[in-house]
Amino acid sequence: MKPAAFDYVRADSAEVAAALLQRYGEGARILAGGQSLMAVLNMRLAQPELLIDISRSVELAAISVEGHALRVGAAVTQAQLQAHPEVPPLLALAFPHISHFQIRNRGTVCGSIAHADPSAELPLCLVALQGTVHLRSTRGVRQLAAADFFTGLLSTARRADELVEAVSFPRPATGQSFGFAEHVRRHGDFALCAVAVVADAKGMRLAVGGLSDCPQAFELPVLADAALDDALNEIAWSLQVRDDPHTSAATRRHLLRRLARQAIQSARRQP
């Protein structure tokens, strides 16, 4: 299928993009890497009257260290952040699992966050790291914690007139270590289950993707053996997991228990 007719405009700045979003509201869509949006348009699941292309904006293509966080602008591709010397260690572990390099060359970091696929790796990492989403509209800017940004299946707290201008990932603190594990049927597929771990001497934050409508994070003390099994089992049953055409809820719960152990062990192996 081909998309319904739309108008196209390039926005070179956040200000221009926000002004257009304010004018067109639900009738406009931001075009970043197009790796998810074009499929949605081709299937006519969305029929916007205007596409606002931010992919060539130099202003939005910046990666900068701001205080204790790395700020990633809306036009930064996944490949650019993956190759950056300050790439957060958890993201360095997750990037190779995101599809193939051709997709990462076009897909943006913020586009993945805005799209909010429940199995996507970047929303999961943002939640695990307790990152921040920076939103801009003609009314001003506001920041949302990752846990408040993702509200459900492909849905977020972003308002129709807001641009995801950037996302911030906290830089690693002394003593922190990281683990990531996921299960896919074929390399490059979306994960049936993915787990990200941020650990320190006191315990860990464990974030789970693919089991419910959006990534969920859990705080755990340092646990081992049967106590860890019990905690992971409790987490698996606390999530609203459904059977779907890809696999059963029981399989996803099993994957969570296995992958979480794997991710925790790899975090603990780090010096």
Ligand X SMILES: Cc1cc2nc3c(=O)[nH]c(=O)nc-3n(C[C@H](O)[C@H](O)[C@H](O)COP(=O)(O)OP(=O)(O)OC[C@H]3O[C@@H](n4cnc5c(N)ncnc54)[C@H](O)[C@@H]3O)c2cc1C
- Least Å from the CB of residue 100 to ligand X: 7
| Window contacting ligand X (CB under 6 A); options: 105-113, 137-145, 197-205, 242-250 | 105-113
30 binds ligand X, rule: CB under 6 A: yes
Q: How far is the CB of 172 from ligand X (least distance, A)?
A: 22
Answer yes or no: are the C-beta atoms of 128 and 96 closer than 8 Å: no
Is residue 118 within 8 Å of residue 212, measured between CB atoms? yes
**Is residue 177 within the footprint of ligand X (CB under 6 A)?**
no
- The count of other CB atoms within 10 Å of the CB of residue 25 is 10
**94 or 267: CB nearest ligand X:** 94
Residues near 73 by beta carbon (within 8 Å), at least 6 away in sequence:
59, 60, 61, 62, 63, 110, 165, 166
Q: Does the protein bind ligand X through residue 121 (CB under 6 A)?
A: yes
Rounded to the nearest 10°, the torsion over CA 199, 203, 209, 212 is -170
Number of residues engaging ligand X in binding (CB under 6 A): 28
Q: Please state the closest distance from residue 46 (CB atom) to ligand X, in A.
A: 7
Residues 6, 49 contacting (CB under 8 angstroms): yes
Answer yes or no whether residue 36 interacts with ligand X by CB under 6 A. Answer: yes
Q: Using the minimum distance from each CB to ligand X, give the nearer residue, 115 or 177.
A: 115
Q: Which of 18, 20, 70, 74 binds ligand X (CB under 6 A)?
A: 74
Asked if 222 interacts with ligand X (CB under 6 A), we say: no
* Contact characters 145-164, ligand X, x per CB under 6 A: ------------------xx
Residue of 131, 125, 23 whose CA lies nearest to 78: 125
CB of 19 to ligand X, least distance (A): 14
Asked if residues 160 and 85 have their Cβ atoms less than 8 Å apart, the reply is no
Angle value at C-alpha 92, between 177 and 241, nearest 5 degrees = 80
Where on the chain is the footprint of ligand X (CB under 6 A)? 29-37, 74, 98-99, 103, 107-108, 110-112, 114-115, 117, 120-122, 163-164, 188, 190
